Every structure is written in structure tokens, then in C-alpha cells.
Amino acid sequence: MVTDKGPVRGTVGTNHREFLGIPYASPPVRWGSPQPAKHWRSLRDATKPGNACAQNAGFFGEKASDSEDCLYLNVTTPRRATNNKRLPVMVWIHGSGFRNGSGALYRPQEMAVRGDVIVVTVNYRLGIFGFLDHPSLDGGPAKNRSGNFGLEDQQAALRWVRGNAAAFGGDARNVTVFGESAGGVSTCSQLTSPGAKGLFQRAIVQSGPCTVENWPDWDGTLEPAGGWLPRPRSKAERQGQTVAAKLGCPTPATAATCLRALPRSKLLKESEYGFAPVYGGGGVLPDSPKKALLKGKFAKVPVMYGMTRDEYRTFEAAQQLMGVPPLTDEKDYATRVRAYVGTEKAPKVLAQYPLRDYASPSEAWSALVTDATFARSVTDLGHSIAKRVPTYAYEFADAHAPWVKNVETPGFPTGAFHAAELQYQFDTDYFDERRLNTAQRHLAHQMMSYWTRFAHTGNPNGPDTPTWREGATTTQVLAPGKGGIRRINFAKEHKYTFWKTL
């Protein structure tokens, strides 16, 4: 394959082709906007992934990396001649809280072959390297204001796809951007970013609506920075100035030079949960994504969006495995609820989510937070966009989805947990693909059909899957077995009216 920067040699399998570790930008200047990759003349080896972006080890088993030379992507295509009809291109933006992950962790061979699409998986800068907001970093190598270098990387990758789609048999005029968790927040944010205008024609937001609010900390109190959610610039700048001072760079006039001179190892110690996209004051996200969506200031493209039924169980499990004491009784549960909603509202919430309705306090708390954060926000997203663009809502609901590989199982059923659907879409290090039973494998095939048909036409429907109704008033449940794929009143099942009026 010959890209606009030079030729690459990948791998040809029995039914697919794969090109790994292609640079879509030059090694970035620390806290600078991405720049085009340099040209090369000799054949470049593209049989191994590029470096993962700098990060600490993650909960799902992501390995630590200390590389800032990490702006690489991977291309997987069906094995077919490129002079045939151009194929849709699906660009995957990985999740893991904006602090972990890489494109190479998601291997889309089956999706590409089964759906007759091209799948591109992307690295982007993470944590403090991708989302540090500090006034001293505005200007200079940063074309836009600081705080969104990771989003700028994603846009650079989309521009690379637009310029190179034809080289690997793709249609530059039919690009679907999709992502899960932080990748879903990224996709949702790119819908509202002026810099992404025209770079994609469809979008799929998985478990990452950028409208999420009221995210709880481990004890139930509201988390000030939202952790992995878009932050207002005023809050992000205060956080950046605090981190800079902690790193020994407290003086505004010299902070940028001081920070750029620090060793990666020192920066990684501060690159924890809490760095995420920044909105307001111009830059990549001029307005809050939530307000932009509500005002209709977003790309007018078809959108698929949804969540897993038991989203918060992953976060509850992670906290317990990191040493947070589990809830043990009704008193513990009520204390956490009061911390979350306040003493005055707590009785109403406890009446809606009585502990007697659940097998454990952890399941009760997880159901409550899933509805209050994910489900309410997913519904808000649908209401904002459905009157302007074709929309298709889903809920992944396999209650017996296999848990994460090599991660201790918590002391409660994990259900359809956050990120559970990834093993139905990709071969990935997080899960053991062999653990899916026959019914689950069938569901995986149906999901791939929905996702890839949407990439082809903007409509997921086809002859081999149950009909998926357009609009925000009904949601397509995705579960294995007879009758597993069906429609529900999502807002009613997740108590949307209660949380909206509370």
C-alpha cells in the first residue's frame, strides 16, 4: 500500500489485510498540536503496532508506556482487490478513561471481513500529555488553546483517513467514527467540534455520552472534575495550575518551559484519573458538548448511541478491587446515597431503589448510579439529536457477559457491565474470545451486522437481524437467545422522569 507519505508493507491473512503502526502525524512536541508525518521513500514495515502513548498500567490490564512518539494507527481491510467498489471506513477511538489504552488492543479482523468494511484503530495522547490545560501552554506549538491535544490527535487521524482512504480501498466520503467509554465521549465531542467538520459522515457513541453529569466519587460525593468527562475551562485551568505547582512549575511566566523540560517519569506520576476534554473559551470545543447538542450545533450525520444495562458495576468493581471497602448493609448504602444526592432528597431516592429489591448493596448502588448518570444522559443525548438527524438507540443487555480476563471477579454479579460489549465486537486483550457461548457468538455476529450496515448506509437494518426502529422513543435491546433482541421503553425502565425532576 502506498500512503501519501510513502509505501508500507503489511500482512496478508487468509481473509484480510493488516497494516500496523502507520504514523498519521510526526512525533508530537509536548503539548503542541499534531503536525503531518514526514515523508519516507523506502518500504516501511507495517507488521507491528507503533508505541502506545505514555500511560501508567491500567485496571483492565493495559501495560505502562513512557513513549510520547505514539501517533500511530492501524488499518484492517477485507482481502480483496482495491479497484472494486470503495468500502466504508470505520475509525475506532479507544476508551479507558483518557488515561489508558491504544488502538492496537482492538483487533477488528472479523468485523472488517464479516461487514465488508475497513476498520482503522487510532492512538491519541492520554492523561496529562493529552489533556493538561494551563494558560502558559496556550499558543506557540499549540494551534488551539491547551487541554485538548488528544482530541486534536483524533482529528489529525481522521484527516489522514480522508487523504489515504483510496490507497487501501476505502471511501473517503463514507467514514464512521465510533468509540466506547472515553472513546464514546471523544466521538460525542467530535460531533460538536468545528475542527472535525466534514471528517466523518456517521457516528456511533458507545457508553460515553458527553452529556453525563453528577459523577460520584468512591464515597458517593460528587467528583469535582468529573474524572473522565468534559470539563469547563475554568475548572481545567485551576487543575492544571495545581498540578504544575506540584510538579515544581508554579510561575505562570515560566511554567510552559518548566513543564516541557520535566522527565516523563515525573509527569506520569501525576497522569492519573481526571484529565479529559476541555470546553469553553474557544479552542477545540468552544462550547460544552451538552449545550452544543441541545442547540443543534453539531455535525448533521446519522448517529447510533447507547449503553450497557449495568454500566456502573464496572466502576464499583474497580473501586473495590483497588481497596475501597464494599457496601455491607442498609446503613452503608443509605450513607452513600445521602452523600450523593443530599439529605433532603435521599428518602425519595431510597424509595425508588430500596435495598430489598436487589441482591446486594453494590447492585443497588450500581443500578442507582447507572440510571442517574448514564441512562439519563443517554436519553438527553437522544432528545437533543433525534429531531435533527437519523438516530438509533441501543442497550447491550447480556446479563452473563464474561468478566474481564485476568482481573479478579468482584463479590457481586457483574451483569452487562461497562465495556462488556467490546468482546462482541473485537478480539481484544481484555477478554478471552473463547468464553463466548454459541448464543453469545450469534449476538456478536448480529451486532457486527448492525454496526457495519450502519457504516454502509446510515441505517443498521438488514435482512438477517430484527428490525431496529429509528428515533429516541424506543431502544433496541441487544441480548443473546430467543427474543434477546427486542424493543423497550428505555426512559421508563431507567426511571428517567424521576431523575430529571429530582
Long-range contacts of 37-42 (CB under 8 A, 24+ apart): 37/5, 37/71, 37/160, 38/5, 39/5, 39/6, 40/5, 40/6, 41/6, 42/6, 42/7
φ, ψ at 478 (rounded to 5°): -115, 105
Percent of the chain with pLDDT over 70: 99
pLDDT digits (tens, 9 = 90+) for 260-300: 999 999 999 999 778 999 999 989 999 999 999 999 999 99
Mean pLDDT to the nearest integer, 11-24: 97
CATH code of 1-301, in short, is 3.40.50.1820
Distance CA 479, CA 268 (A): 39
Task: Give CA angle at 407 (405, 412), nearest 5°.
Answer: 110
- What is the domain partition of the chain in residue ranges? 1-301
Residue 288 known to be catalytic:
no
Q: Which of 418, 421, 456, 494 is the catalytic position?
A: 418
Distance CA 229, CA 211 (A): 9
Q: Which of 65, 96, 146, 181 is the catalytic position?
A: 181
What is this structure's pTM? 0.97
Percent of the chain with pLDDT over 90: 91
Lowest-confidence range among 56-60, 242-246, 370-374, 388-392?
Answer: 56-60
DSSP letters along 389-455, please?
S-EEEEEE--TTPPPPTTS---SS---SBTTGGGGGT-EETTS-GGG--HHHHHHHHHHHHHHHHHH
Residue 180 known to be catalytic:
no
Dihedral Cα 90, 215, 470, 294, nearest 10 deg: -100
The 8-class DSSP code of residue 144 comes to: S
pLDDT of residue 225: 55
Mean pLDDT to the nearest integer, 389-400: 98
Q: Which of 18, 62, 237, 311 is the catalytic position?
A: 311
Q: In 253-356, which residue ranges form alpha helices assigned H by DSSP?
A: 255-260, 264-268, 289-295, 313-321, 330-341, 346-352
Residue 186 known to be catalytic:
no
| Joined grid coordinates for residue 286 | 468552544
